[in-house]
Each structure stands twice: as C-alpha cells, then as structure tokens.
A = this chain, B = another copy of it.
Amino acid sequence: MSLLNPPPRLLMGPGPINCYPRVLSAMSTQLVGQYDPIMTGYMNEVMSLYRYVFNTNNDATLLIDGTSRAGIEAVLVSCIEPGDDVLVPVFGRFGHLLAEISQRAGANVHTIEAPWGEVFKPEQIEAAIQKIRPKVLALVQGDTSTTMLQPLEDIGEICTRYDVLFYSDATASIGGNPFEADKWKLDAVSVGLQKCLGGPSGSAPITLSDKYVQTVRKRQHVEAGIRNENHMDGLGLRIRSNYFDIPMILDYWGTERLNHHTEATSMLYAARECALQLREESLENSINRHKLHGDAMLAGVQGLNLKPFGDLKHKMNNVVGVHIPEDINGEDIRHTMLHQYNIEIGTSFGPLHGKIWRIGTMGYNARKDAVLHTLQALENTLRRAGHKLQSGLATDMAFDVYTNEEN
C-alpha cells in the first residue's frame, strides 16, 4: 500500500469515465485561502462558465460540494416543505432516486412510470400535472440506467401554465446532448462532472431560476455563531438540511460571502477546467462530437450482431444499451474486457440487471480510437466466447459513420 499507480483503464461504461488530462492537472494545483480574492475570483469564474454550460443567465449558478446526487438533494430539500406535492415521471433508476429523495424531504410524491427504454410525451406529463397540481415537477433528462433522453423542450411551458417549479437532473446528458435551461424554462438543474464534462465525480454544478431562488429565500435562516443583527430569519419552514441549505450556499457564493462550508477547492479547480474545456470546444461542437462517436458505437455494436436497447429515437448521444446475447455470460465478457484489455464497459441495474451492457462514449472518451479499440476488443472477446459475428464488420460500420458524418 503505497504509490497510487492504477492500471490505465479505458472507461467506456455509463460513467465515471476518464478525466481530460487538463482536468487532472488542474486538480494538482496548490490551494489558496477560502476568502482570498484569487479564490472568490475563481468562484465567480465558475459561476460564469456554468451559465454557458447550462445555457442560462441565472445569477444563481454554482457548485454543490458532493457527488451529483448531492446536487439533486440540495435542489429538492431546499424547495420541498413537508407535505408538498411533487410529481416525478419515472423512466429509469434515476427517476426512482428523485422520488426517493423528495419523499425523504417530506414530500407527498406522485409518480407516473414509462417502461424502461421509453420516454414520456408532454401530454402524459401535462395530464398528471393537471390532476395532481404539484409544487414541483422533478424530471431526469438523461437516465443512464436505460440510456434514454427525455425531451424537455415542451415541459417548461406546461409548468409555467400550472405554476409548477420545473427541476431536471441532467447529470448524464449535459455537454453531450442539447440543454437549454432558460429557453426550456427550467427553474432548477443539477449535474455532475463525471459524464460528458470529462471530470471526476465529487462536484455538482446547479443553476436556479429567480422563481426558485425566491421560493427558497422564504426559508432563509442564518447559522448561530456567525449571526449578526443584520440577518433576519425567513418565515418559511427551516430547511431540513444545513449542508444542502441553498439560501445559505447562495450567500456564500454571493457578494456577502457569508461562511458556510469550506469550499472544496480542488474539486472547484476540476469543475472550472471541465467547463473551460467545453467552452473552448464550444457546446455545439461537443454535442456534435458526442453524437458522432455515439453513432459510431451504435453502428459498431450492431456490426457485432448485437441488438441495441430501447427506443433509439430517444437514445442519449453518449451511451448505448446493448442486449446481452442469450448464450453469453455478460459478466464474463466484462471481466475479460477489463482484465485482458483494460477496457471497462457497464453492467445494469434493477429490471435490466444481467440483460444489457451499457457502453459509453463521453467526455474525453468520445474519441475515434476509444470507439475502435472497444469494438475490436469486444469483437474478439465475443468471438472467443462463441458468439456468431462477422469479423471486421463492427469497425467497418463505425468507419462508415465517420465517413458519412465527419465532413
């Protein structure tokens, strides 16, 4: 137990994936103090950069210090008062998670469910809103458990009409699929770094509309021990969590700089670098790149005589589900891929456990060489396990996608 020296895995699962080298370098930067003008300058830069990532003008755009589910919980626990109605359309594991986190925050949770591998139509969501009249609609954009991408563009308009706070978890999709926080009228969005943004898990960027901020400001309380006479407590019920109390976190990120947690500086450095990488590439180019390599991987797995999972019209660009052939042991294949080729592909949860693999092409790994190596290794592994396939077809089909789309 001494030198950290992991094998050079190529992470082609549903995330986490390999970090961009520049993000790793950023994390090895020495720290500055919490209120150093250099540090608060970086915090302001991060706010500005993530406005670009989310396509928003929201002032309240910042990081929650934790993994992506910390961002989810912060958004939900800050706006849900016990007894509030929350509607969660569930089309995969992460819908269940939003429901569960809302429940724990004291919400009266209502779910509607789509079969795994499908998404909702706006009419279905509107009908449920009409019936339930929830305070909050919590909807995943991209659910890696099924690889599906829920269209969001018509949902905000519906939420506005019924005065519903519209929250989306876009962890798995951001940076690799279109996302428009303002245009789509989102009130709250949370993500993580470990998918298409090409960073490590451990920091959760969020953005919040003025409406959301006004809602949670009513529950504002200032911590004892740093309170002074200028601070008045709000009239709303105190938020159940201190760590996830968004009004307090806003005052830490805002001009007041009121002490809350000690910002996780190295993770902030990572988050900043992820967004810089995205801005330098441009959102449009990044989304196109994820589409290109996602399409190549999709074509490639079909060339391996494998059947992709779910409604392909609504597949995320950055991950594909693949039915495990009946005569093949899915875990054996994954084991060989990992231990012979240093390539990780993903397993599945819940109803899809043991039935599909999930293969990602995201962030740093949305690259031609990563796609080709994965297809070749998978072809050889499947062939040796007795799966029927035509040698070379997978990469031929991937190359065809590159030829057609790359110009």
Contact = CB atoms under 8 A, between A and B. Distances in A.
A132 interface: no
B15 A262 contact: yes
A96 B223 contact: yes
A157 B270 CA distance: 44
B36 A30 contact: no
A184 to B, nearest CB: 25
Contacts of A272: 4
A67 interface: yes
A224 interface: yes
Interface extent on A, as a size class? 35 or more
Interface in A31-67: 31-34, 36, 38-39, 42, 45, 48-49, 65-67
A201 interface: yes
A299 interface: no
Contacts of A242: 69, 73, 97, 100-101, 104
Interface in A257-305: 259, 261-267, 269-270, 272-273, 276
B344 A92 contact: no
A4 B42 CA distance: 9
A156 interface: no
A201 B96 contact: no
Most B CB contacts (10 A, CB to CB) among A106, A244, A273 go to: A244
Q: Which one of A6, A19, A263 has the greatest number of beta carbons of chain B within 10 Å?
A: A6
B100 A1 contact: no
Interface in A210-251: 223-227, 238-244
Interface string A11-33: 10101111100001111111111
Contacts of A15: 262
Given A28-B25, A31-B19, A200 B97 contact: no
Please list the 4 inter-chain residue pairs (A to B) with the smallest Cβ-Cβ separation, ordered nearest first.
Answer: A202-B264, A96-B225, A93-B225, A28-B28
